[in-house]
Structure 1
Amino acid sequence: MLMPRLGDLLSRKAPGIRAQLLDLVPRHHVESLERQQADLALLPDTDLPDWMMREPLFRSEYAVLARRGNPATKDLRHGERMPFDIFCSLPHVLFAPHGDLTAQSDEALAKVGRRRRVVMTVPVFSGVCRVVSESDLIGLLPLQLARKVQPVYGLDLFVPPIAIDPIQLIGVWHRKADTAPMAAWMRQQIFDILRPLDRIDLRGLAKEANP
């Protein structure tokens, strides 16, 4: 969602700049910023040390992904709320950088006495997309990303059967870099690209099931 637009922007406004996207291990982002190995990290809102600056960017709800033609979802309309029984009976692929087998959705399901079947974990979001697009597994992705990849991978999107707390994405950086002109300029370009994503929510997806 970020790098293609950022690449286009930099090629026009600052062709001499080189941007490097690093896949930081989530639990090590503080260490990477402390050593100034990265100028900016994008991550879900969390407690941070005092020397880190933060900027809220956008909130993201979750969408259920299934391949178009999945026999278990063929009678559901794109954008419809997926029934509990289908959601819990189908095998799931889970985005889990550390190999965890549970996430926020499992906590929400447990509160109503339900559980899902996680049969595979992958360390990157693109892995969820590829697995879902070529199998009968389903998965959950942040809605903004799901919207972006849906036509590329031939997916249908559904509203989850239960409310899942949205994630708040923030940008964080070292206080020492707060006033550095080039770092500040780059942060602003990135923030301007990401902030409009806050306007995408599940209400828009649900309307597509009942136009």
Structure 2
Amino acid sequence: MLLAEKNVTRAARRLSMSQPALSAQLRQLRELFDDPLLVPAARGMTPTLRAIEMQDALRELLASVNRLVTGQQAFDPAMATNTFRIAATDSIHAAVCVPLITKIRLYAPGIRLALFSADREAVGEKLASGELDLVLGTRQSLPPSVKARMLYEESFLCLLRRDHPYSKRPLDLDAFCQLEHILVSPSGGGFRGAVDEALAQMGRKRRVVASLNSFLLAPSLVARTDMICTVPARLARATGEAISLVAPPCELGSFSVQMGWHPRADNDSAQKWLRQQVIASPESLLRDMDAQ
């Protein structure tokens, strides 16, 4: 403050100290550094060469102390070399992480992203240990110990091959139940899901003939068969021209996709930046689709 003000009285006022107390501290600093530090000038005081040499080091030292006290450190994505690790199902990775990686490559070229499957049994432990930074999924799939933020609300669409008989005419409930269905079970092997639960409430059921462990396999199989697959709408809209999109003939409701992180990372500047990018990512994908 003395170097900035070059006047003991003004510096004391800004520090809420008395002028004699600050003068006493200046005497102690002069003895410590064996240098006058500030000498009388026409207007106030002027720093000595030794004081000028010390200014940059003092600024950095004060900034470091401030970061230590506040727990904050400036994060510059353009210069950062962090590796962030995100767990989710492949459909959520496609909706969130594809546009996220594209954006980060433009503005933060030194940052790397590693994508992992969302193992419900292990994600809580991996977030706690720092092996994962984020997990994306439904609230029910997130560990109860994490902090969470909703990313988007998701609905469903059905995939059919482009020249499927029902790609050009209305798909009613009877036809829907009679078709052969593909079910995606990320954990593998399941033949019952949200669609079956909704149909059961109406006293109906469908024929599930194939269970896949990856949403990204579904479009390829649909394009080669007469089978139908019900998938999250964002994933459906990202499929190629060989696929027709059809609304389900019954109300399947919707679900929210959320982002979870360990409370320990709540105030970390790099982690906060990552979460901000993830929040914006689904909207980026929708804008890209609207532009096509």
- In the superposition, the TM-score normalised over structure 2's length comes to 0.61
Could you tell me how far 1:36 is from its partner in structure 2? Answer: 2.2
Query: Which stretches of structure 1, 4 residues or longer, exceed 4 Å deviation after superposition?
Result: 47-50, 195-199
Q: Provide the secondary structure at the position in 2 that maps to 1:46.
A: helix
- Alpha-carbon displacement from aligned partner over 1:124-178 (angstroms, at most 9, x marks no partner): 11011111111111100111111111xx151111111111121110000111111
Could you tell me how far 1:27 is from its partner in structure 2? Answer: 4.3
Could you tell me how far 1:35 is from its partner in structure 2? Answer: 2.7
Q: Summarize the Cα distance change of 1:74–1:163 in structure 2 as closer, same or farther, 3 Å threshold.
A: closer
Amino acid at match of 2:214: V
Q: Provide the secondary structure at the position in 2 that maps to 1:21.
A: strand
Q: Summarize the Cα distance change of 1:26–1:83 in structure 2 as closer, same or farther, 3 Å threshold.
A: farther
Q: 1:92 aligns with which of 165, 175, 181?
A: 181
Q: 1:5 aligns with which of 99, 117, 133?
A: 99
Q: Provide the secondary structure at the position in 1 that maps to 2:190.
A: coil
Q: Provide the secondary structure at the position in 2 that maps to 1:19.
A: strand
Contact 1:129 1:153 (C-alpha < 8 Å) held by counterparts: no
**Distance in 2 between residues matched to 1:136 and 1:68, nearest whole Å:** 10
Q: 2:221 aligns with which of 131, 134, 144?
A: 131
- Could you tell me which residue of structure 1 aligns to residue 274 of structure 2? 186
Could you tell me how far 1:75 is from its partner in structure 2? Answer: 4.0
**Distance in 1 between residues matched to 2:151 and 2:221, nearest whole Å:** 29
Calculate the aligned-residue CA RMSD, in Å.
Answer: 2.1
Q: Summarize the Cα distance change of 1:6–1:43 in structure 2 as closer, same or farther, 3 Å threshold.
A: same
Contact 1:104 1:165 (C-alpha < 8 Å) held by counterparts: no
**Distance in 1 between residues matched to 2:272 and 2:251, nearest whole Å:** 37
**Distance in 2 between residues matched to 1:163 and 1:6, nearest whole Å:** 31
- Alpha-carbon displacement from aligned partner over 1:16-55 (angstroms, at most 9, x marks no partner): 1111111222443323323321100110122755531100
Amino acid at match of 2:225: S
Q: Structure 1 residue 42 and structure 2 residue 130: aligned?
A: no
Q: Provide the secondary structure at the position in 1 that maps to 2:117.
A: coil
- In the superposition, the TM-score normalised over structure 1's length comes to 0.83
**Distance in 2 between residues matched to 1:32 and 1:123, nearest whole Å:** 22
Q: Which has the higher contact order (CA 8 A, sep 6+)?
A: 1
Question: Percent of counterpart pairs with the same letter?
Answer: 31
Number of aligned residue pairs: give it: 192
Q: Structure 1 residue 162 and structure 2 residue 250: aligned?
A: yes
- Alpha-carbon displacement from aligned partner over 1:88-143 (angstroms, at most 9, x marks no partner): 11111111022221111111101111100001111111011111111111100111
- Could you tell me which residue of structure 1 aligns to residue 237 of structure 2? 147
Q: Summarize the Cα distance change of 1:37–1:120 in structure 2 as closer, same or farther, 3 Å threshold.
A: same
Amino acid at match of 1:30: G
- Could you tell me which residue of structure 2 aligns to residue 177 of structure 1? 265
Q: Structure 1 residue 51 and structure 2 residue 145: aligned?
A: yes
- Could you tell me which residue of structure 1 aligns to residue 61 of structure 2? none
Alignment gaps of 5+ in structure 2: 1-94, 288-292
Q: Provide the secondary structure at the position in 2 that maps to 1:129.
A: helix
**Distance in 1 between residues matched to 2:120 and 2:158, nearest whole Å:** 23
Q: Summarize the Cα distance change of 1:169–1:41 in structure 2 as closer, same or farther, 3 Å threshold.
A: same
Alignment gaps of 5+ in structure 1: 200-211
